[in-house]
Chains A and B, each alone.
Chain A
Amino acid sequence: KAGVTQTPRYLIKTRGQQVTLSCSPISGHRSVSWYQQTPGQGLQFLFEYFSETQRNKGNFPGRFSGRQFSNSRSEMNVSTLELGDSALYLCASSSTGTRGTDTQYFGPGTRLTVL
């Protein structure tokens, strides 16, 4: 079974631009979560989607948004990029996301650099 895939793997943008990152979950998984990883703040939860609906949201400004499609693929968008948005963005998928028995499988991440 193919793992979680994220595209692109690397991205360079300038301040003020916007960016869209993509995540394809493991086949059959309906929950997709997004995390931001930075050296200063560590791993922080952004949001989670289940059946095309945002089910959970972390403490990030409205510039960070996402969506999920009917095939469970998910995208996250960051508008008006700031230097502090430079990070590794990780996507994780699980079957339902609510049971402890549901393992979250992580993708390799998208490395975003904002210049």
Chain B
Amino acid sequence: AQSVTQLDSQVPVFEEAPVELRCNYSSSVSVYLFWYVQYPNQGLQLLLKYLSGSTLVKGINGFEAEFNKSQTSFHLRKPSVHISDTAEYFCAVSGPGGATNKLIFGTGTLLAVQP
């Protein structure tokens, strides 16, 4: 069965500093990987996704993630964060058979950007 682990529940960082949010997954088959962002009192918005091909995936708002099959990781990075990036970030893996209608989410990482 697939599972996702986000080790950091909260990541404080100063504005304009780089940040990395960690995500590890477990699966015995090929999967699709996703990062979603949730701003306060809002739903989830897709940042980026990895389906196949290049292991470096670029998303919206300057975020990127690198798929590492040997380390079963899909860490999210941004070279310079803004106050507006303060939000909760969720890593997710597709369900059985690659089904994207049944995503399995990590517990989330709260990115707290300080001035």
With A43-B90, A90-B43, A106-B44 known as contacts, the answer to whether A98 contacts B107 (CB < 8 A) is: no
Please report which residues of chain B, range 22-56, place their CB below 8 angstroms from some CB of chain A when the two chains form the complex: 32, 36, 41-46, 49, 51-52
Of the listed stretches A48-56, A62-70, A72-80, chain B binds A48-56
Contact with A along B45-81 (1 / 0, CB 8 A): 1100101100000000000000000000000000000
What's the nearest-Cβ distance from chain B to residue A91, in Å?
8
Bound form: Cα–Cα A55–B97 in Å: 14
Bound form: Cα–Cα A77–B42 in Å: 21
**What number of B residues sit within 8 Å (CB to CB) of A?**
26
Bound form: Cα–Cα A20–B60 in Å: 34
Contact A42 B46 (CB under 8 A): no
Q: Is B104 an interface residue (CB 8 A)?
A: yes
Contacts of A107 in B (CB 8 A): 43
Contacts of B32 in A (CB 8 A): 100
**What number of A residues sit within 8 Å (CB to CB) of B?**
29
With A42-B106, A56-B95, A100-B94 known as contacts, the answer to whether A31 contacts B101 (CB < 8 A) is: yes
Among B42, B49, B101, which residue has its beta carbon within 8 angstroms of that of A97? B101
What's the nearest-Cβ distance from chain B to residue A114, in Å?
19
Q: Is A87 an interface residue (CB 8 A)?
A: no
Shortest Cβ distance from A33 into B: residue:
B101
With A43-B90, A103-B49 known as contacts, the answer to whether A97 contacts B100 (CB < 8 A) is: yes
Can you give 11 contacting A-B residue pairs, CB < 8 Å? Answer: A31-B101, A35-B103, A35-B105, A48-B102, A50-B101, A56-B99, A90-B44, A98-B99, A98-B100, A100-B51, A108-B42
The interface of chain B, by Cβ under 8 A from chain A, is: 32, 36, 41-46, 49, 51-52, 90, 94-95, 97-108
The interface of chain A, by Cβ under 8 A from chain B, is: 4, 31, 33, 35, 42-45, 48, 50, 55-56, 58, 90, 92, 94, 97-109
